[in-house]
Structures are given as structure tokens and as C-alpha cells.
Homo-oligomer: A and B are copies of this chain.
Amino acid sequence: MRSTYTEKLEQLSTGLAEMCGLAEDAMDQATEALLQADLPLAEHVLATRPRFDELAARCEEQAFALLALQAPVAGDLRQIVSGIQIVADLKRMGALAAHIAKVAARNHPEHALPEEVGGHVAEMGRIAVALADAAREVLVTHDPQRAGHLQAEDDAMDDLHHHLLTVLMDREWRHGVGAAVDVALLGRFYERFADHAVQVARRVVFLATGEMPDQVVDHELL
């Protein structure tokens, strides 16, 4: 009985890590689709949504079944409750990557991004993917130290987001209102994705240490 229970808990962890990996891939591909105005790649990202939703539903059901059938205590209980919260964060990460793919698809065959901000957005994409990768690793290893390191990368994301808005607000912006609106919303999608990845890692810290994570520091710039 106990071993089946432990197995089921591990299945839940594995499912969460798999979801996080899918969100990471989606973000990587959506950014590439955006930078290269690559419609098939954008469509590929959007086509992965049902698989992602199925996995989310499965994780939620597994967590609920563990709570209902096993009346877990202490550490196990924390892990399951965190798991339920983590599913919600991962769902948002998947949705945000899909939003980026939609912006790429909607602007095709034009590039959604003026060249001037391409490098910036590429860097935001790189950090977003790195944060998702770190969160995925933390989901597997439960290493609170690794989780702590995510904050620095999230700060870098916030700086980039802030700078991007500054570029948009500059009088020298020559790319019109439509491009500015897209870039502003894209910036927000990257920043939110990063925040959720950090939140996932924080919840794992709660899981490892039993201490409630701080309120996620709200670095959002608006």
C-alpha cells in the first residue's frame, strides 16, 4: 500500500515536471516563431495545447485522488497541495507561450517585432526558457538552493521588461502604434511567464522546507 502511494506521489511529480518541460519547449518555439516570423512553428506551438491541457487535468486528478484515498499527512500533504497550486502556474505558462505564438501567427508574413527590439525579446525568451528549465529541474530534485537561484534570473527579466517599455515610450519610436501595442503585450507575456516559473520553484521550496513561501515579490513594473 505504502509503496503504491509513494509511486503515485512520484507520478504526480513526474507529471508536473513533464508539464513544465512542455511549457519550456512551447516558450522556446514560440520565441523562435516570433523572431523568424515562422508560421508553421507558431502553429505547432498552438497544436500542442490539447496535450498540455490533458496533462494538467491528469495531474489535478492524481493530486485529488491522493488526497481523497490516502488521507496523507505532513510532508506528503504539503507535496500534494503544492502540486495542485503548481498545476495552475504551469497552465498559465503554457497559455502565455501560446499567446506569443498567436502574435507571431497573426502578423505573418510580416515580422511582429521591429528589428530594433528583436535582440531584446530574444534575450527575454532565453531567460524565460532558462527559468522554466530551472523550475523543471527543481520539480525533479526538490533542491531549495537551485530554487533560490531563480530570483536573479527573474530580476534580469524584470530589467529587460522595464527597458523594453522605455524603448517603446521613447519619442524616437518609429514603428507605429500597432507594433508598440504588440511589443508591450509581448513584454508582459514574457514577464508573467518568468514570474510563474519562479512561483513554481518557490512552491517546491515550501514543499522541501515546510515553510510557506513569501508572497511572490511583485516586480511587475506597472
Cα of A6 to Cα of B173 in the assembled complex, Å: 60
- Min CB distance A75 to B, Å, is 11
Cα of A188 to Cα of B184 in the assembled complex, Å: 11
- A residues contacting the other copy or chain, number (CB 8 A): 41
Chain A: residues with CB nearer than 8 A to chain B? 53, 56-57, 60-61, 63-64, 67-68, 71, 73-74, 77-78, 81, 84-85, 88, 95, 98-99, 102-103, 106, 165, 168-169, 173, 176-178, 180-181, 184-185, 188, 212, 215, 218, 220, 222
Chain B residue with Cβ nearest A169: B178
Chain B residue with Cβ nearest A67: B77
Cα of A177 to Cα of B63 in the assembled complex, Å: 46
Q: Is B60 within 8 A of A212, CB to CB?
A: yes
